[in-house]
Chains A and B, each alone.
Chain A
Amino acid sequence: MSTEAKTDRLNKRFSELKESGRAGLVTFITAGDPSIEISQQLLDALPDSGADVIEIGMPFSDPMADGPAIQAASLRALSAGASLAGTLEMVKRFREKDSETPIILMGYFNPIYQYGSSRFVNDAISVGVDGLILVDLPPEEDDELCDPARTAGLHWIRLVTPTTDPERLRTVLANSSGFVYYVSIAGITGTKAASVGSVADAVSRIKDTTALPIAVGFGIRTPEQVRNVAAVADAVVVGSAIVETIEQHATGDRPDPESLKAQVLTLVKNLAAGTRR
């Protein structure tokens, strides 16, 4: 039943990155932001602009671990008609052209709970999703989605935070695979950045406990920050900076889809340059 036997895009991608001696760039966009159509076009163009792994946010009305930028992105997407089924459809279309770039869906549990956990797992696998990050499903709630998702062959990626002590770290890593997402600040997405020194310490501490690749995110916005974090981690996650660029171009009086796409993809290219020496 495991899809890992077929292709494990995520493990393969991290092996390739390791071989080429560089960190990966993980980019985040919210499905359906600012419209279903533009969001699909952005998604399809991300790999060529330098995204090694793509995280797609599943819109939710009440994303309580996210900052204003990502919450606003969710609300824009929802008013544009986004839904969980629509997010899966986006991945399906993406996979028609790209069978290599790993896709991680990130979000909150309630939309999946309404969709049905086992139906969601089946559909996610069949459209070509590689892994899941569920912000509000800690290990204490593993039976809700983590267990069935892992059994079916999806990666389950967890957040490790500065508040995660060594004992908790073992609990957090127990049922996870793919990579570890280190949240470099105690806080919400899109706020201040952590110092490179503290990130390096944390990454080496986590590496003592797991062989999984470590991706670092929260508060990373510029190519320079990407370069600094890339020196100490296996991948760098950028979300709010991309989403804010979408917002700037989506909320004006005359939104211009072409300049929006150009701006976002230029930003991604510049960020990607930070992962390449």
Chain B
Amino acid sequence: MASHQSPANPLESYRSGPDERGHFGIFGGRFVAETLMPLILELEAAYEEAKQSPEFQRDFDYYAAHYIGRPSPLYFAESLTKRLGGAKIYFKRDELNHTGAHKINNTLGQILLAKRMGKTRIIAETGAGQHGVATATVCALFDLPCVVYMGATDIERQAPNVFRMKLLGAEVVPVTSGTGTLKDAMNDALRDWVANVDNTFYIIGTVAGPHPYPMMVRDFQSVIGNETKEQILAAEGRLPDALVACIGGGSNAMGLFHPFLDDPVRIVGVEAGGLGVETGKHAASLTGGHPGVLHGNRTYLLQDPDGQIIDAHSISAGLDYPGIGPEHAWLFDQQRVDYVSVTDEEALEAFKLCCETEGIIPALEPAHALAHVSKLAPQMSPDEIIVMNLCGRGDKDIFTVAEALGVKL
């Protein structure tokens, strides 16, 4: 295992990427149509400028505290720790954020940037609808029109989130092109952007897409890891031994991991293994895919030998994406972060475990992380510490879980 390592050369850092071309090693980049290039370059310049602006930071901090409810607690899951026997388990409780997931950390940052750039229309893609809801929420707050692209099949499966977005004033556009899933929603959002370059800002929901998105979304989500660092030092007087987070595109994981990349902490990303990586029905891009180019960046993708993209499968709609953020791809190749997968079934078990032991109904996404924690914790000693990102609450998933458990609501 490659963890518990600081960089080999003390001058090196795992936190210095991307380079000026948006590359993390061979991953990342700007693989977009020429029509979008001027926008991407404009966005990059605007973001670099905003990063230096105390006013931008002040606005972000203000809304993070008073609107989202940050910092989210770092909670010692004592019953779960007792049940599993082994390492002390802490939950970073980003499910307590306004809207119930970590997604809003990023949509807040991006909409503040959109306003700063004078953009007057917001578009977004969504799979399960969490990012769509988080985008619709900040659009309502800042009074900007919002169009959310969502696969037609996901619209059927996620009716409550569709209704939430509409309540918040967003227009939800069903995507029927391709296979009508998250990747197609992203294609259609990119098509919208190409056609509406003058006034539109595209809020991408994860650490993927063309540069500067992977970096920018990571920076906004790093609030998770930065808080965790302070909180664990306050609670335990030391850094944790392991961090665990689930990965679809990888934004909650990158947010937790990034501030710790140069610390002697073992880091584990958990991909959705679906019915099992060996069945081909999964969403584990790193453990079951190989490098390719899609949606503006080079990363690990689920694809056939001809380079055609294969649909992902996971019980969790939020992990159901055939790619992964390019920085994860790089950390995987660098062996700085361990990437594992857990199956739908294991995630369901962990979902139940969390409900029963902690009185917390987790989203199916972090249930994947918990499934791995329940394997890892018993192998560690009671004086060791695991921090897991509980990145979303599970209200949205009760229908899916009921169906999987054969319960009729």
B33 and A140 contact, CB distance less than 8 A: no
A61 and B195 form a contact (CB under 8 A): no
Determine if A168 is an interface residue (Cβ-Cβ < 8 Å).
Answer: yes
What is the distance, in angstroms, from A188's C-beta to the closest C-beta of chain B? Answer: 5
When the two chains form the complex, which single residue of A67, A158, A165 contacts B38, counting CB atoms closer than 8 Å?
A165
CB distance from A146 to the nearest CB of B (A): 13
In the bound complex, what is the Cα–Cα distance between A109 and B31 (angstroms)? 8
B32 and A138 within 8 A (CB): yes
Name the A residues within 8 Å of B186 (CB-CB): 64
Which size bracket describes the interface of A in this complex?
35 or more
Write out, one digit per residue, whether chain A residues 54-74 have a CB within 8 A of any chain B CB (1) or not (0): 000001111111011001100
Residues A112 and B307 in contact in the complex (CB < 8 Å), given A62-B294, A164-B38: yes
Contact residues, B185-225 vs A (CB, 8 A): 186-187, 190-191, 194-195, 197
> Which of B29, B187, B195, B295 lies in contact with A141, CB distance below 8 A?
B29
Q: Mark B36-78, 1 if CB is under 8 A from A, else 0.
A: 0111000000000000000000000000000000000000000
| Size bracket, chain B contacts | 35 or more
Please give me the residue from chain A that is nearest to B38 by CB atom. A163
* Complex Cα gap A156–B57 (Å): 43
List chain A residues, Cβ under 8 A from B177.
68, 71-72
Residues of A within 8 A of B292 (CB): 110, 113-114
Say whether A109 contacts B34, CB under 8 Å. no
User: Which residues in window 24-73 of A have CB below 8 A to B?
Assistant: 59-65, 67-68, 71-72
Contacts of B396 in A (CB 8 A): none
Residues of A within 8 A of B (CB): 59-65, 67-68, 71-72, 75, 78, 83-85, 108-115, 135-138, 140-141, 158-161, 163-165, 168, 172, 183, 185-188, 191
> A-contacting residues of B (Cβ < 8 Å)?
21, 29-35, 37-39, 177-178, 183-184, 186-187, 190-191, 194-195, 197, 291-296, 298, 301, 303, 305-309
Pairs A–B under 8 Å by Cβ, sample size 18: A60-B308, A64-B33, A64-B190, A65-B33, A65-B191, A72-B177, A84-B306, A114-B307, A115-B307, A136-B32, A136-B33, A136-B293, A138-B37, A163-B34, A164-B38, A187-B194, A188-B191, A188-B195
